[in-house]
Structure 1
Amino acid sequence: MMLKRTKFLAAGMILFSSAFTLTACGSTSAATKEDPKTISLIAPDHSDVHPKTQNLWMWKEYEKMSGVHVNWETMKDLDQKKQLILNRKTLPDGLYQTNWSNDELTKYGSQGLFQPLEKLIPKYAPNLNKLMEEDPSIKKAITSSNGHIYGLPYMSTDPLGGGRHFKLYINKKWLDKLGLKKPTNTTELENVLEQFVTKDPNGNGKADEQGFYMDSGNFGSFELMIKSTFGFNTAGRTAMEAGFYIDDKDQLQYIYSDPKMQDAWKYLAELYKKGLIAKTAFAGVDHDKWIADGSKEVVGCYAWVGQEMSFGEKVGSEYVPISVLSDADGKNGATVTQSGVMGTSAFIITKAASEAKAKQMLKWVDYFYSKEGSDFGYFGKEGVTYNVNKDGNKVFVDKILNDPKGASLGAYQYVDNVYGGFYPYLEVEERLKNIGKGMAPEVFTDDPLSHMPKQVLPNLQGTTEESAEIASIQTDLNNYVDQARVKFVTGKWNLDTQWDSYVAQLKKIGLDKWLEIRRAQYKRYEED
């Protein structure tokens, strides 16, 4: 009914506008016919876990607050359908919560499909502009190599929150039962995991305990923590995930050809050989089985960005975080966190939007980069989705806290920014999010804020030419490293006798060219 009424009002405005234009000028134009307060957005379809976007409480409420009506079009598997969208005869006004690479933003922006926003942001997005002025690295992260900003960020100012911060989570019940301390370095971690799998800490008389155990395909989260202990966390998590670190001479280096990576894989291979890493690390366990096994108390350690992961608040609370893990000599301990700009394409305005609409769209989305808008996007409205406790903190109402699938999915039935990521907004501080879900805030005994990397880089921006040249090299390098990782860690390849031939293959794929391009991108980033 609301949609029909909005369309009727819009139609009335069009008729009025057309009549006025005919009288004044004797002609009409598309610009005078449109209603800038009605916009069309494509977004991912999450209707399997929350109401359809157009029916979500938050968006109905925000329409009342903003006076802007959104015609939502949602799509499953949106990341795989991006090219189909661009090939349409008529584009939507904008793209919401999408995940385009920096290279894609530059490519399609240069082609005129995405509108440049850098001149509009200071006037029509004052909240985002203020964040950029307070932290110049934000602007550097979202500005393409051609000087234009084509997408707005998904971001967090909390280094320990917003999905930025990877940690190891270790089973506290098992530590206490075996009289063990939380490990602080790789030697202690190996010892703890060995006792976990040999001393029956769950007390069922079966040798069913696992050391490091996650659903297959998430081994990379554990490897991130180990790479940090071997000295690769000099530029933060994003750099490590992109395959590089910055050495002591400020030179960008490829991680997976470095002799230190050979040592890191040797350490992981030893854990795997001893059965301290689940044999299903690379295949055989889906997410549902892993959750079920967590409830059966067979998981000793996992790695992720949040305490609850998917075990839920009860089981998740039985694990304590290891935020800073050092090497055997107590060195190289650094917090595995990423840039506050975790995505650069959370909100894109396409060429289809008129100048009036583009300004309106920036005003509409900028609210979520304010403290008030951030809280609204995550918590909702007092008395409806949350109440304020005696300490002045927001706590979700009981119908959300008691949701059988957990508070996050409970809140996701009302608000949009509590589940998943890549939203165009400023994440709420992690401590406050945990309190809101009825959980105790995480307690870190290893002081992660005092162990930050030397720098925390965002994804580096490339030129159109660089992007075209590096694309196939990057894909082939990633595929080969993924293959090599499995073979080295599981012992199918020998790290002593086959390392040189492995590095030679990396060079054959195009490693030297990859390094040349990445170093040029890093140099530009430093000079900006």
Structure 2
Amino acid sequence: MRMRKRELSSLALVLSTAALLAGCAGSGKSGGTANEDDFHESGLPIVDKPITLRIAGTYDERTGSNWNELETIKELNKDTNVQEDWNLVPGTDWANKRKITLASGDLPDVVLDLTNSEVVTGGAQGMFIPLEDLIAKYAPNLTAFLAKYPEVRQAITAPDGHIYSLPLANMSQYKHADGNSLWINKEWLKKIGMEMPTTTEDFKKMLEAFKAQDMDGDGNPNNEIPLTGIYGDSLYGLGYLFGSFNTMDNTFIVQDDKVQFVRSTPEYKNAIDYLHSLYAEGLIDPETFTQNSSQLIAKISSGKKASVGAFFAWSADQNTNADYRWDYGSPIIPLKGPDGYQITPRNNLQLSPAMFVITKADKHPKATMRWVDRAYEPELSLKLREGPNRLKKMDDGTYDIIENPKNYTAGEWKVKETPYNSFVYGFSQEMRDKERLPKPKPGQLDPDFDEWYQALIPYMKSWVFPDILFTNDQYKTIEQYQTDIQAYTDKMAAQWITKGGIDKDWDGYVQTLNKMGLSDYIKVYQDGYDTNKKNLEK
């Protein structure tokens, strides 16, 4: 038995010595690749022998899941010897699929599009590797982008000081404008002899007229929908109307450095009461509370004539039928409410801090970092954001925009050759300025144009809660309260909008929230906000 122990001890010593020597041999040239001598710290290829990264994520259904055939991915891979095995699912399935993937123990090398809490928790558990040293050594494009936009670095840095995820970041100033815009059928307005509404009262009168008349001329005055949307959705929801009541349809807002839970405020109560006044008269599509985005887009685009008077979206021309896409003209600036309020959020810039993590299963972390850093090269970021098929580089370094062919909608054309918002990029205002963007027609505005952002500036309030990462313990506290409070407030809002009774129920509703731990829920957001502010001031 003693001899056996000595043999095992000797064997362990030999193996550990061999491992140490192997590590020294590859020192300075590699970093986790299966074959240390294959990796190159600079230049191409990244590795001498091809490697394949297993990557899980979601995709835009207009783009499809065959990413290896996209022009942007081909350019990303060119001459690198890095290949990808994409395991992609539709966006509607991704949340559940992601949870299963993270819990399975069989991790891919890279996971895309996580929640902030998943990143912090996975990092604390060792599921995702820290990236700050890899970024400093092997990601010059991302390093330059983070130096230019320190707020992005702040957003991706966990409270423990590590960076566990890489961002999708669009720092164009026009993205401060809220994507939840209101579009009204101007041809229907002409038919009822009304001007574009400027107040919530005018808006209601307009919807009443849409409901009362046969707007599409088919002889049936009851098959038109005055107003539709998706309740609670940030893009297609009813949030636009909350600004007329001096609040926002956000869970939390910040006023004078004080965090507020919107759904317990008098302003929120007034907004819900107004929505009930619309619903009670049949002016809001009942399916607003059940439909998804695909169903909404089909509703506003599938008929031979427009059947919807007004809806909420980022763009009308990308969602409606080509035969009447321009009937909706321009989005409108915030409606003035009964007390004169007329506001819109000054949104955080488009930033997804948790877009790309490298898991502990990845045998090639340095090669992975060098590969993904190519996506942050300014010109490739431009193509990932805008679509290479839409861009024509001019002699002066600017980019002309190629409009969509007739067999593509503008949205389909934009995402034809890029993963778009399902992958990383770092898009700067400087790159935005290099685009020769089409100008809006006189009297027309569109959220894709800087002119729309400029028009909204006088109404913007910087109340939106910032993009920050909480600590692992804070996320646990948030999880403790979030699900039940969200479900309860959603249930009551739907009840009040469809059936009324908010005045009668309000005091009891607030008492119930307090019993559910609302003060603790607010406090964890206040603590996270205060910590983030202090870090920014350092």
Verify: 1:253 aligned to 2:260, yes or no.
yes
Aligned to 2:488: 480
The answer to whether the Cα contact below 8 Å between 1:324 and 1:446 also exists between their aligned partners in 2 is no
- Contact 2:346 2:463 (C-alpha < 8 Å) held by counterparts: no
Partner of 1:13: none
Q: Kindly report which structure 2 residues correspond to 1:345-384, keeping only aligned pairs within 5 A, or say none.
A: 345-354=354-363, 357-379=364-386, 381=388
For 1:431 and 1:294, the matched residues in 2 are separated by: 38
> In the alignment, what sits opposite 2:6?
none
> How has the CA–CA distance of structure 1 residues 112 and 257 changed in structure 2, closer, same or farther, with 3 Å as cutoff?
same
Over 3 Å counting, the alpha-carbon distance change for 1:333 and 1:111 in structure 2 is same
Deviation of residue 134 (structure 1)?
A: 3.1
Q: CA deviation at 1:151?
A: 1.1
1:213 aligns with 2:228: yes
Once residues 231 and 433 of structure 2 are traced to their aligned partners in structure 1, the CA distance between those partners, rounded to angstroms, is 27
Which residue pairs with 1:147 in the alignment? 161
Alignment partners' CA distance in 2, 1:228 and 1:216: 16
Give the secondary-structure state (helix, strand or coil) at the position aligned to 2:122: helix
Structure-2 separation of matches of 1:352 and 1:444: 45
1:294 deviates by 5.9
Residue aligning to 1:225: 240
- Does residue 114 (structure 1) correspond to residue 128 (structure 2)? The answer is yes
Superposed CA offset, 1:370-422 (max 9, x none): 431122224555xx66546999643347xx6233x5243245443322xxx24
Q: Which has the larger radius of gyration?
A: 2
Aligned to 1:494: 501
Q: Match for residue 11 of structure 1?
A: none
Q: How does 1:510-521 map to 2 (within 5 A)?
A: 510-521=517-528
Post-superposition offset of 1:468:
1.3
Give the root-mean-square deviation of aligned CA atoms.
Answer: 3.8
The CA deviation string for residues 41-75 of structure 1, in whole angstroms up to 9 with x for no partner, is 32336496536223334323332254533333334
Contact conserved, 1:343 with 1:422, CA < 8 A, in 2?
A: no
2:73 to 59, 62, 67: 59
Matches for 1:41-60 after TM superposition, within 5 Å: 41-44=54-57, 46=59, 49=62, 50=64, 52-60=66-74
Q: Which residue of 2 aligns with 1:10?
A: none
- Shift of residue 448 of structure 1? 1.3
Residue of structure 1 in register with 2:116 after alignment: 102
Aligned counterparts of 1:374 and 1:60: Cα–Cα separation in 2: 14
Instruction: Classify the secondary structure of the residue corresponding to 1:307.
Output: coil
2:409 counterpart (383, 406, 411): 406
Could you say which residue in structure 1 is the equivalent of 2:12? none
| Corresponding residue number in structure 2 for 1:40 | 53
Tell me the TM-score normalised to structure 1 length: 0.80
Deviation of 1:454 (Å): 2.5
Which residue of structure 1 aligns with residue 207 of structure 2?
193
Q: CA deviation at 1:514?
A: 0.4
The two structures have a TM-score, normalised by structure 2, of 0.78
User: 1:103 and 1:321 mapped to 2: Cα distance?
Assistant: 35
What aligned pairs does 1:120-159 form with structure 2 within 5 A after superposition?
120-159=134-173
Measured in 1, the distance between the counterparts of 2:116 and 2:528 equals 12
Match of 1:452 in 2: 460
1:171 and 2:208 aligned: no
Deviations 1:464-501 (A, max 9, x none): 1121122031001111111111100012x511111111
Q: What is the CA distance between 1:34 and its match in structure 2?
A: 6.2
SS at match of 1:232: coil
Displacement after TM superposition at 1:251 (Å): 1.3
Aligned with 2:461: secondary structure? coil
The answer to whether the 8 Å contact 1:127/1:369 transfers is yes
C-alpha spacing 1:219/1:101, structure 2 compared with 1 (3 Å): closer
Question: Aligned partners of 1:368 and 1:162: how far apart in 2?
Answer: 23
The range that moved more, 268-277 or 33-42, is: 33-42
Q: Residues 164 and 123 (structure 1 numbering): CA distance in 2 closer, same or farther, change over 3 Å?
A: farther
Pairing partner for 2:348 from 339, 350, 353: 339
Residues 170 and 505 of structure 1: CA distance in aligned 2, closer, same or farther (over 3 Å): same
- Cα distance in 1 for partners of 2:353, 2:108 equals 19
Q: Within 2, Cα distance between the matches of 1:380 and 1:290?
A: 27
